[in-house]
Structure 1
């Protein structure tokens, strides 16, 4: 057998091993996250699947036969068939903070938002529930700010957009996971249809303050340089996205359908010039991306911009009786 042929067979064998192992691992995680069983049984099912995949791979190598791999392929098709039956839903027992779906109606420049969240948070488990119907006149829309909230890695942040009006009011839109009651966030689970997507509209005192003052996160507010027409279009894109989620529930995906990628897709409808970039996934580096594409102040460096945009201390010093939106913008010029 020629060297080229042996190398080709070795490469094919390596590819088969890689595909089998990766698909086996994916299948194990899919079973663990989605089987409607207790944690022990889900662990057993996932382990059996993964061990079975590896055993068939070894058996195929020892016997020099493709039949074990064909059996695995058939089992994998059955698994994919089951996976296709898992559908998103708006009908579950949800956590209080995501219990209501945002919706909006638009009449000319007047926008009415139903289920705007305005909770008073003392701890993550102690809060006053308050949902509101609010009206906004887009003729009085004057600002759009990107809010980034960090809780661990400098590479990862939760991204939100806050719109400001000339009467001092602000409303924040945030794409989030829709947790069921008692459920906690898992970035891996976000790859395996564990969560639905929700678009939350909330008062800044609620959605920013809970992160800085209750959860100990580090928040930054970046004023965006957008003309009024673009701000209005982006606001209406959020309203449209919210209404679509009411009629068509969607799974959250850690990589492809998260807090930043959805905003990016909406922004691309307004300006097709926005480039794709790894920083749309590593959201902690969005300030550099904003700076590069020119949607923030470029008269200063990114480091100066970041320092000027940090609002954590301002938020933590604010009292409950203070105008929170005004307080977090009271930075030195």
Structure 2
């Protein structure tokens, strides 16, 4: 009888969650009020609502946005960022940083879209309690928040993507951001999160390039998996590469430096 009651309760929970509808019109946290969108006019890219927060703490900041214009051919590289959770290093937040010919970087960070005074819970993320958001942000903003405010370890890996592959990947990311601006989706801790979306983007360009396994479902291992697949530099052992790729000291040292992105890559 108890087993039936438990299954009945779970059925009610999942039925209730399935009836929920994702929305873009809520009272959002100040740093997530605007959704990014983009336009492509014959290779001239304009990204609207690039976030550029300046932080005094993880929950005290000045929110700014700007529009970014560049030629698609200026995109030369893509780097993989991973920030493991301090208390559960098998879990991590993963991001992509696209490098332009002039040295600028544009970061894509797939996140829950928090309402005002809302906090992340992995458990709630299974039950359609958060909308999904693509934050397109200034690299100083995104890395500073993880490294200097949350005090998480942050690793920055150069990928083996060619300029053409990096350009295609960025367009795939921006097209998804455009879709979410008109058709919101729910975040899901297991199936629709930061890492699974990166995997989808890679597989959109190269079908079945990345398989779903425990190193995707536990993204704290995703950097090791990317290394095994040849998506990262394999000229040195992975443990050595990981040690070299931690950027916290540089991110703190050069937090206010105008050449922030270049200097955190000088290792």
Shared fold (TM-score, shorter chain, > 0.5): yes
Q: Contact between 1:94 and 1:180, CA under 8 Å: does it hold in 2?
A: yes
Q: Whole-Å Cα distance in 1 between the matches of residues 192 and 213 of structure 2?
A: 15
Task: Provide the residue aligned with 1:320 in structure 2.
Answer: 256
Task: Provide the residue aligned with 1:305 in structure 2.
Answer: 241
Task: Provide the residue aligned with 2:37 in structure 1.
Answer: 103
Matches within 5 A, 1:51-66: none
Structure 1 alignment gaps of length 5 or more: 1-15, 31-78
Distance 1:148 1:83, change over 3 A: closer
Matches within 5 A, 1:158-237: 158-237=93-172
3-state DSSP of counterpart to 2:49: strand
Pick one of 42, 67, 71 that aligns with 1:133.
67
Q: Whole-Å Cα distance in 2 between the matches of residues 26 and 122 of structure 1?
A: 44
Q: Contact between 2:76 and 2:167, CA under 8 Å: does it hold in 1?
A: no
TM-score, length basis structure 2 = 0.94
The total of aligned residue pairs comes to 265
Q: Contact between 2:23 and 2:184, CA under 8 Å: does it hold in 1?
A: yes
Distance 1:316 1:19, change over 3 A: farther
Distance 1:248 1:125, change over 3 A: same
Distance 1:311 1:256, change over 3 A: same
Pick one of 227, 235, 239 that aligns with 1:291.
227
Task: Provide the residue aligned with 1:330 in structure 2.
Answer: 266
Q: Contact between 1:287 and 1:302, CA under 8 Å: does it hold in 2?
A: no
Moved more, 101-110 or 160-169: 101-110
Structure 1 residue 287: Cα displacement: 1.7
Q: Whole-Å Cα distance in 1 between the matches of residues 8 and 231 of structure 2?
A: 41
1:248-292 deviations in whole A, cap 9, x for unaligned? 010000000000101111111111132222111110101211111
Task: Provide the residue aligned with 1:268 in structure 2.
Answer: 203
Distance 1:264 1:19, change over 3 A: farther
Structure 1 residue 21: Cα displacement: 2.4
Q: Whole-Å Cα distance in 1 between the matches of residues 31 and 4 of structure 2?
A: 41
More helix by share: 1
Moved more, 18-27 or 104-113: 18-27
Task: Provide the residue aligned with 1:258 in structure 2.
Answer: 193
Matches within 5 A, 1:80-91: 80=15, 82-91=16-25
Structure of greater relative contact order (alpha carbons < 8 Å, 6+ residues apart): 2
Q: Whole-Å Cα distance in 1 between the matches of residues 211 and 17 of structure 2?
A: 33
Q: Whole-Å Cα distance in 2 between the matches of residues 19 and 206 of structure 1?
A: 49
Q: Whole-Å Cα distance in 2 between the matches of residues 312 and 325 of structure 1?
A: 13
Pick one of 61, 67, 77 that aligns with 1:143.
77
Larger Rg: 1
Which consecutive aligned stretches of 4+ in structure 1 deviate over 6 angstroms post-superposition?
none
Q: Whole-Å Cα distance in 2 between the matches of residues 323 and 108 of structure 1?
A: 30
Distance 1:291 1:319, change over 3 A: closer
